[in-house]
């Protein structure tokens, strides 16, 4: 039980020192001759107060220093970089590279391998695929053979499951907890299967063009329980899309075919679905970005309409970036959106930009719009960074749109892999080696 000691009557001393002062008062009363103690008490009290002030000042200085370091890390502009080789690359020259958590995965038609940012090999898996498909979420990676029957489910330490679908694979999606959804073709019927991380069948259902349309995109919630599917119907004069949610937990067991909610859109095509939070999915069409929220039964949330043609969608973490060509013919609504986002058409040099990347958070709010003119080969959103690059040049922006680095590579680069644990380090995949690039 906590005991609260109240201040002695008439005392105006700090609460934190009350116990010490109580000892001082009692010391003078025991021997009946505490004159020296009474004279020393004010000095001791002054010393104690000064000690407390020094402690508070030191603590305040530390907090201020941490705050300054944090602010500097957000706004610092880098002007140069150093390079160090981390690994020789001897595999397939046509291999593709991607980040998986804090590791780097390379994959090709003959297999996949994973290494850390220091070049140390973590795992490898062999297969023979004609056209590899990948889906990643957190530290989970699924690799499948398009039009084939095989899916490999991989984690941080290697393969954790394998699936033989028995039917041709058209697309896949993965959850952070290891579940994998696959869209499978079967003559005039399309099947959607949900597998556990061990490769076991959890559930499946079929769709037909006549009933629900053809699946264009699929996404799984982080806990692997809810699957979102974008269905396209093309039998009418204009395309129609329905976005349906299937819950394979206890809630969905009470619904027909586990379908717990659905939303229809006329004259729109939704080829992109992605979970951007534990209970939030983003869907991008040719006309809008739509957000759906709800752990068990997703509902329609924020919507933002586009007034320019979408050039691409790039995502990372809880953020979604929608890329537009930066034309002078934008509508008044589009201009208002730009103004609300704090964006402007010119780039950092004051010249008109060829592109603008609009960044949305998982609440559907525009947090920035980044204008740039670099003819990109890829755009990455990693942590607080937006990375735009091609084989010769790299630009890095903050999420708020500030240009933090702009420079050329020393040699041609095939891929850039951000170091998830450092804001100043990136791994560069070149023709024969992987290098660590450190910004300065």
Q: Are 189 and 175 in contact (CB under 8 A)?
A: no
Q: Is the pLDDT of residue 56 over 80?
A: no
* Spatial CA neighbour of 315 closest among 347, 348, 296, 291: 291
CA 436 to chain centre: 22
Angle between helices 18-30 and 35-75 (to 10 degrees): 170
Residue ranges covered by each domain of the chain: 308-405
Mean pLDDT, rounded, for 176-186: 96
Q: Are 184 and 192 in contact (CB under 8 A)?
A: yes
Distance CA 272, CA 319 (A): 14
Q: Give the lowest-confidence range in 188-197, 342-351, 359-368.
A: 342-351
Instruction: Kindly state the greatest CA–CA separation across the chain.
Output: 106
Q: Are 241 and 216 in contact (CB under 8 A)?
A: yes
pTM of the model: 0.79
Q: Are 153 and 138 in contact (CB under 8 A)?
A: no
Is pLDDT larger for residue 159 or for residue 53?
159
Q: With cut-offs at 50, 70 and 90, classify the pLDDT of residue 267.
A: very high
Residue 413, Cβ neighbours under 10 Å: how many? 21
Q: Is the pLDDT of residue 10 over 60?
A: no
Q: With cut-offs at 50, 70 and 90, classify the pLDDT of residue 76.
A: confident
Mean pLDDT, rounded, for 2-6: 36
Q: Is the pLDDT of residue 398 over 50?
A: yes
| Mean pLDDT for the chain overall | 85
* Spatial CA neighbour of 361 closest among 306, 309, 319: 319
Q: What is the pLDDT of residue 21?
A: 34
Q: What is the pLDDT of residue 29?
A: 43
3-state DSSP call for residue 248? coil
* Spatial CA neighbour of 313 closest among 261, 344, 269: 269
Could you write out the DSSP letters of every residue in 88-123? E--S-TT-EEEEETTEEEEEETTEEEEE-TTS-EEE
Distance CA 310, CA 320 (A): 13
* Spatial CA neighbour of 409 closest among 434, 396, 391: 391
Q: With cut-offs at 50, 70 and 90, classify the pLDDT of residue 37.
A: low
3-state DSSP call for residue 123? strand
Q: Give the lowest-confidence range in 151-165, 279-293, 348-362, 391-405.
A: 348-362
Q: What is the pLDDT of residue 93?
A: 85
Is pLDDT larger for residue 11 or for residue 90?
90
Distance CA 177, CA 7 (A): 56
Q: Is the pLDDT of residue 347 over 60?
A: no
Mean pLDDT, rounded, for 228-246: 90
Q: What is the pLDDT of residue 3?
A: 37
Instruction: Map tokens 């795992």 to a residue.
Output: 123
Q: Are 213 and 229 in contact (CB under 8 A)?
A: no
Is pLDDT larger for residue 369 or for residue 33?
369
Q: Is the pLDDT of residue 99 over 60?
A: yes
3-state DSSP call for residue 366? strand
Q: Are 368 and 384 in contact (CB under 8 A)?
A: no
3-state DSSP call for residue 175? coil
Q: With cut-offs at 50, 70 and 90, classify the pLDDT of residue 331.
A: very low
Q: Are 333 and 340 in contact (CB under 8 A)?
A: no
3-state DSSP call for residue 42? helix
* Spatial CA neighbour of 265 closest among 295, 292, 293, 294: 292
Percent of the chain whose predicted confidence (pLDDT) is above 90: 69
Mean pLDDT, rounded, for 358-365: 97
């Amino acid at each position: 039980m906590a005991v609260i000691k109240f201040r002695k009557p008439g005392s105006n001393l700090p609460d934190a020192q009350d116990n010490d002062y109580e000892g001082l008062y009692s010391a003078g009363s025991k021997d009946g001759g505490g004159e020296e103690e009474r004279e020393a008490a004010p000095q001791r009290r002054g010393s104690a107060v000064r000690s407390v002030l020094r402690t508070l000042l030191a603590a305040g200085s530390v907090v201020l220093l941490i705050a300054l370091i944090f602010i500097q890390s957000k706004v610092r502009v880098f002007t140069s970089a150093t390079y160090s080789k981390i690994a020789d690359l001897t595999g397939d020259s046509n291999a593709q590279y991607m980040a998986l958590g804090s590791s780097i995965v390379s994959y090709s038609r003959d297999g996949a391998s994973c290494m850390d940012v220091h070049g140390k090999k973590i795992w490898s898996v062999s297969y023979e695929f004609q056209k590899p498909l990948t889906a990643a979420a957190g530290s989970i990676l699924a690799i499948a053979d398009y039009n084939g029957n095989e899916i490999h489910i991989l984690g941080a330490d290697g393969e954790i499951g394998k699936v033989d679908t028995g039917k041709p694979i058209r697309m896949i999606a993965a959850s952070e907890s290891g579940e994998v959804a696959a869209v499978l073709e079967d003559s005039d019927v399309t099947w959607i299967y949900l597998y556990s991380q061990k490769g076991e069948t959890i559930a499946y259902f079929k769709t037909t063009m006549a009933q629900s349309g053809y699946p264009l995109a699929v996404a799984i919630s982080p806990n692997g329980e809810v699957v979102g599917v974008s269905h396209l119907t093309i039998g009418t004069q204009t395309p129609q899309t329905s976005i349906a949610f299937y819950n394979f937990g206890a809630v969905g067991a009470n619904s027909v075919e586990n379908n717990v909610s659905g939303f229809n859109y006329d004259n729109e095509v939704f080829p992109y679905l992605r979970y951007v939070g534990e209970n939030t999915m983003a869907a991008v069409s040719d006309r809008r970005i739509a957000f759906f929220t709800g752990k068990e039964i997703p509902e329609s949330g924020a919507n933002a309409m586009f007034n320019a043609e979408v050039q691409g969608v790039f995502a990372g973490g809880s953020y979604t970036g929608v890329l537009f060509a930066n034309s002078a013919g934008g509508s008044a609504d589009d201009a208002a959106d730009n103004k609300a986002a704090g964006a402007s058409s010119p780039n950092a040099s004051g010249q008109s930009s060829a592109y603008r990347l609009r960044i949305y958070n998982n609440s559907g709010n525009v947090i920035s719009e980044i204008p740039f003119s670099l003819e990109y080969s890829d755009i990455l959103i990693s942590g607080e960074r937006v990375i735009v690059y091609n084989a010769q040049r790299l630009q890095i922006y903050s999420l708020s749109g500030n240009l933090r680095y702009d420079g050329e590579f020393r040699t041609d680069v095939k891929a850039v892999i951000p170091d998830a644990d450092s804001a100043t380090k990136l791994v560069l995949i070149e023709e024969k080696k992987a290098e660590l690039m450190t910004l300065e």
